[in-house]
Structure 1
Amino acid sequence: MTQQTLDSPEAVRLLVDSFYEKVQADPLIGPVFTDVAQVDWASHLPKMYAFWESIILGNGAYDGHPFRPHLIVNQKHPLRVEHFERWLTLFSATLTEQFTGETAELVRQRATQIALVWSQKLTYLNTP
């Protein structure tokens, strides 16, 4: 598989699509997306394209509150550290498989920060 740089909307879409294929097939977090959150992929994926384009390309494509849906899911099914660890493992594997260069490493660092902060917030909220 030829690796490419992560520097265009098309590359971001490849990242998101490849990542969410892994998510849907994953036995730990796949059911959280499909059964608990009941994600409508046709509407979710364009939001994720915009979210990651904003982070990677700095184009301001995303306008929303990305943590809010996680709070809603967490009320139905408490999200634990291992969910975020798996999310990060799958995301990092997708970056490694598909992309090369400094931007890919910066995106990996940003994803790590997101997973850590969101996991900590939800752990705090889940603590009695």
Structure 2
Amino acid sequence: MQEKKDIEMREDIEGLIRAFYVQAMQDELIGPFFTEVISLDLDVHLPTMYDFWESLLFHRSLYHGGMMQKHILLNQKKALQEKHFERWVDLFEREVTRQFVGPVAEEAKSLARAIAPSMKVKLDRSLLPLSWLKSSSPLVDGSTKRNAS
């Protein structure tokens, strides 16, 4: 059996992400999001995910956004719940742990744990009516004044 090493290069990320998506797409809880709700094209999606994780882990400017809009559209088709994010993190952490050991591997797991709740909050906010945002945000009109109570 080969000894585990840390995530050191893009090829490591590619192997990790490919293996993760195999698990995620077969998972009974989150798999349908990939296979039924959006019919994910892995040939298109995986290179984007490689860039995303390489940008995060190796501080390279390869990924240039658009993640939230795609997840907002997905969330409008079928609501992503906390349990879905928890499963995503669990599967991702298990795959990292199965393949790697070291500080970059730990950073990947830490980032996944941070990304999931942040994305959930943003998705929940995206479902609010625009009128709520306008009435509840003091910065929408550019004002920073606080009401004296």
Normalization by structure 1: what TM-score? 0.93
The 5 Å alignment of 1:53-68 reads 53-68=54-69
The structure number with the bigger radius of gyration is 2
Residue of structure 1 equivalent to 2:103: 102
Aligned to 2:135: none
Structure having greater relative contact order (Cα 8 Å, sep ≥ 6): 1
Aligned partner of 2:5 in structure 1 is 4
Across the two proteins, how many residue pairs are aligned to each other? 128
Q: Is the 8 A contact 1:23 1:29 kept in 2?
A: yes
| Counterpart in the other structure of 1:52 | 53
1:21-44 deviations in whole A, cap 9, x for unaligned? 111110111111111021111100
RMSD between aligned residues: 1.5
Q: Deviations over 1:69-94 (max 9, x none)?
A: 11000111011001100000000000
Q: Kindly indicate whether residue 115 of structure 2 is the aligned counterpart of residue 114 of structure 1.
A: yes
TM-score by length of 2: 0.80
Aligned to 2:28: 27
Quote the Cα distance in structure 2 between the aligned partners of 1:109 and 1:127. Answer: 29
Partner Cα separation in structure 1 for residue 36 and residue 91 of structure 2: 19
Q: 4+ residue runs of structure 1 moved beyond 6 angstroms?
A: none
Identity of aligned residues (%): 38
Segments of structure 2 that go 5 or more residues without pairing to the other structure are 130-149
- Write the distance in 2 (CA, Å) between the matches of 1:127 and 1:68: 15
The answer for unaligned runs of 5 or more in structure 1 is none
